[in-house]
Amino acid sequence: MLPGMLRPWLLPILLLVLCPGCGEETANPGVEAFLAGWAEPVSDAVDEATGYPSRIRRIEDCAEMVLVPGGTFLMGAVPDDARAKDVEDEHPRREVTLTKAYYLDVHEVTNAEFLAFAEATVHVTKPELLGWAVVFSPEDADGPDAWIETPGASWRLPWERATRPSDWERHPVVLVSWSDASEYCAWVGATLPTEAQFERALRGGAEGQVYPWGDAVPPKPPLRGNFQDVAFRERVGPQATGALSDYDDGHVRTAPVTSYPPNAYGLHDLSGNVWEWCRDGFQADFYATSPSTDPVASQRDPGRVRRGGGWMTGTGGRLRCSWRGVADAVVCRDYMGFRCAKPLP
Ligand SMILES: [Ca+2]
Ligand SMILES: [Ca+2]
């Protein structure tokens, strides 16, 4: 057959014969299997390194997650951080490799999302069973401690005198234990982030900084999150000695999620708003003994890692990227919440 006699419909077939790879599906064939049953892509945007969607939405709670790159980063106190000099558990600073990229929630789990979980699973938290919780309530406190036992308080009514704000649904859930958080993550097909995953995400790709935004507090404009600020000091009074001067984020307690700009990975409020549970048990000497690849500390002791600082965190050094907080797995605080993570297969 002469070239001039080619039928138009023959051309795609000839191209396939001459170039067998040209007609193949270009998407990563594992993506569909990985997402099946628990999540779906938000858009056509795909991560070039992995072929996986850059952003996904979970089926159970409609929460969105972004893909954080795997790779090697420096975890622990940076050399120029004078405040970390005597903080032994942040040393030694070391190279940590996360072998898989991982999805991480764009924002802290909200009350609306936790409500969906509680209704679907008939989950009950410890404050709900006890009928009270310790809640920030400076007007009702006798002494300098502004947190008092409050009848009726729980994640459903987490503010003073067992109340809640009108936009409660958009606030991060609080007064949930590590166990509550872990069960939630399992419900959506994920887990809590490891401490290493959290610190990598918190640093946002900016290696070597004391804080996510640079080396000093308070951050320069724009606002970087919800911390213990001038609004908090006005509410509590002069004993709020840890409040950031010249910083007003507009919220005394929790702020609705995504109230402040995201970091370079597209993640909101890793720093501030609420402290976040990590999967790891807390071990003060973990950095000296842990593997350098995908580290996660054993949960043999009651203590669990919490990270990032919250609305009551200010000048005390706990907003630094390397600060490691700890709380028992069963405690529920009105400044502690969580988000979910899931690594690629
Ligand atoms: Ca604040
Ligand atoms: Ca947070």
For the stretch 305-338, pLDDT in tens is 999 999 999 999 999 999 999 999 999 999 999 9
Backbone angles phi, psi at 214, to 5 degrees: 155, -145
Q: Which residue has the higher pLDDT, 300 or 163?
A: 163
CA of 225 to the centre of ligand 1 (A): 8
Closest ligand relative to 228 C-alpha? 1
Closest ligand relative to 335 C-alpha? 2
pLDDT(27) > 80:
no
pLDDT the model gives residue 4: 45
pLDDT the model gives residue 207: 87
Q: Token digits for 338?
A: 């969580």
Closest ligand relative to 227 C-alpha? 1
CA separation for the pair 154, 334 (Å, rounded)? 9
Closest ligand relative to 250 C-alpha? 1
pLDDT the model gives residue 7: 55
CA of 231 to the centre of ligand 1 (A): 6
pLDDT, tens only, 200-232:
999 999 989 999 999 999 998 899 999 999 999
234-240's contacts with Cβ under 8 Å and 24+ in sequence apart are 235/138, 236/138, 236/146, 237/138, 239/144, 240/314
Residues 169, 172, 173, 179, Cα dihedral to 10°: 140
CB 339 within 8 A of CB 308: no
**Mean pLDDT for the chain overall:** 92
Give the pLDDT band of residue 11 (cuts 50, 70, 90): very low
Closest ligand relative to 136 C-alpha? 1
- Percent above pLDDT 70 for the chain: 92
CA of 227 to the centre of ligand 1 (A): 4
DSSP state of 317: S
pLDDT the model gives residue 36: 94
Mean pLDDT for the stretch of residues 277-297: 97
pLDDT(107) > 70:
yes
In the structure, ligand 1 is a single-atom ion and the residues with CB under 5 Å from it are: 226, 229, 249, 251
pLDDT(23) > 50:
no
Q: Which residue has the higher pLDDT, 342 or 239?
A: 342
122-127's contacts with Cβ under 8 Å and 24+ in sequence apart are 123/180, 123/183, 123/184, 125/154, 125/155, 125/175, 125/176, 125/177, 125/180, 125/332, 126/177, 126/180, 126/330, 126/332, 127/153, 127/154, 127/155, 127/175, 127/332
CA of 82 to the centre of ligand 2 (A): 24
pLDDT(17) > 90:
no
CA of 159 to the centre of ligand 1 (A): 15
CA separation for the pair 247, 221 (Å, rounded)? 9
CATH of 58-343, one of 3.90.1580.10, 2.30.29.30, 3.40.1190.10, 3.50.50.60: 3.90.1580.10
CA of 175 to the centre of ligand 2 (A): 14
CB 336 within 8 A of CB 274: yes
Q: Positive or negative CA dihedral for 209, 213, 214, 215?
A: negative
Q: Token digits for 164?
A: 């809640």
CA of 227 to the centre of ligand 2 (A): 10
CA of 131 to the centre of ligand 2 (A): 26
